[in-house]
Amino acid sequence: MLPLDDLFVLDFSTLLPGPLASLFLAEAGAQVVRVERPGGEDLRRFPPRFGETSAPFAVLNRGKRSIEIDLKAPDALARLTPLIERADILIEQFRPGVMERLGFGYEALKALNPRLIYCSISGYGQSGPRAQEAGHDINYQAIGGLLSQSLKRGAPPPLPPALVADIGGGAMPAALNILLALRQRERRGEGCHLDIAMADAMPTFAWYGLAQGQATGRYPEGGEGLLTGASPRYGLYATSDGWFLAVGALEQKFWEGFCEAIDLAPALRDDRVAPETTRAAVAALIAAQSAAYWRDHLEPRDCCCTVVRSLEEALADPHLTARGALDAQAEEPGGRRLVSTPLPLAPVFREKGEGLKQVPASGADQNLLLPSGEKVARRSRDG
């Protein structure tokens, strides 16, 4: 048994945040039904293709079911009512007010199912002056102050590779709050409406800068924070062959081991005296050798130094294989298989013997819907 195997989830969301949140629930045992517009949601058309479907869609939606319905149709609510009445959780990701205009707002569905946990994920939340403003991950990082932590004025701007707002501000808070709402429902016997705003969580990821600014009266700009460039103990250093060494030797014992390993001059090892001078000296020493040299020379010394891996190298790392992080596979409708999105679920909550799950074709489970025009009341009365 898995912890959520008695739960039924309706997922109206698209793209990344909502589908990743429902993947967490599905991998923990919940039955998830994707409610898609006719023709399927937009992510099904994102490149690259993988057999008969989209690879980005496949890695997020294994083990789920799919129905298609036009939510603007007059009978849409009637056709979905039996599913809404049995649902434990509903996830939606429209702009605030859209579900209400379609007749699927929280208050309307609460009347059908008072125990329903209704999770709304949006960029800026259901209320506030930016509630109706469009945006994507990079916009939420920008407005929340997180992006500024890695930017130096006048320097070429790096584009963050991680979709921190979508995943850390949307999917993961949604999954966490859904689990909290389930616990609350056990006590109170009723559901609730969860308002998840991706922008709200961005200052969370700038926690150190937030503390520093309030304590000193000056908030750090890019390159000035302990973890964003101010310390030579924490950062990226270029190697002789154009690759990078990631150094995280914050604690004194790790710093001393690192300094000894690269043979940094003793006069420069107290990095509080002249941190920029120390950083420059470290950079010169690292740049004198290749990434392979530093991998062999530093990584075994246990001083928090790691040569940056490519994504392909990371997937081949024996540690990930040993941990089972890559066991989950998705099979698209044509039969081709790929590794699903790895989730940080503890091994005890991973389903044993279920390494391979199907990716649903759009509308593959249409039989879950009432035929158009059939009366909900008659269906309910007849059992």
Is 319 part of the annotated catalytic residue set?
Answer: no
Tokens describing residue 135: 């945006």
Tokens describing residue 50: 């993988």
**Predicted pLDDT at 27:** 93
**Predicted pLDDT at 317:** 85
Is 270 part of the annotated catalytic residue set?
Answer: no
Q: Which of 75, 136, 327, 365 is catalytic?
A: 136
Residue 91: pLDDT band with limits 50, 70, 90 = very high
**Predicted pLDDT at 51:** 86
Q: Does 101 score more than 60 pLDDT?
A: yes
**Predicted pLDDT at 226:** 85
Q: Does 135 score more than 60 pLDDT?
A: yes
Task: Tell me which residue of 54, 66, 64, 67 sits closest to 338, measured CA to CA.
Answer: 54
Of 132 and 371, which is predicted with more confidence? 132
**Predicted pLDDT at 185:** 97
* 340-362 pLDDT, tens digit each: 988 888 878 876 556 789 999 99
**Predicted pLDDT at 378:** 37
The mean pLDDT value for 95-100 works out to 96
**Predicted pLDDT at 382:** 31
Q: Which of 11, 88, 166, 271 is catalytic?
A: 166
pLDDT averaged over every residue in the chain: 91
Percent above pLDDT 70 for the chain: 96
* 306-344 pLDDT, tens digit each: 999 988 888 888 888 888 888 889 998 888 999 898 888
**Predicted pLDDT at 194:** 98
* 137-192 pLDDT, tens digit each: 888 888 888 888 777 777 777 788 889 999 999 999 999 999 999 999 999 999 99
* 209-266 pLDDT, tens digit each: 899 899 999 998 888 888 888 899 999 999 999 999 999 999 999 999 999 999 999 9
**Predicted pLDDT at 373:** 56
Q: Does 5 score more than 60 pLDDT?
A: yes
Rounded (10°) CA dihedral 86, 364, 77, 127: 80
* Burial class of 228 by CB neighbour count within 10 A (0 to 12, 13 to 18, 19+): buried
- Look up tokens 């009366």; give the residue: 375
**Predicted pLDDT at 186:** 96
Per DSSP, the residues of 154-190 read TSPPPPPSS-HIIIIIIIHHHHHHHHHHHHHHHHHS-
Taken in order of first residue, the domains within the chain and their CATH numbers are 8-203+322-382 (3.40.50.10540), 229-238+244-307 (3.30.1540.10)
**Predicted pLDDT at 189:** 96
Percent above pLDDT 90 for the chain: 69
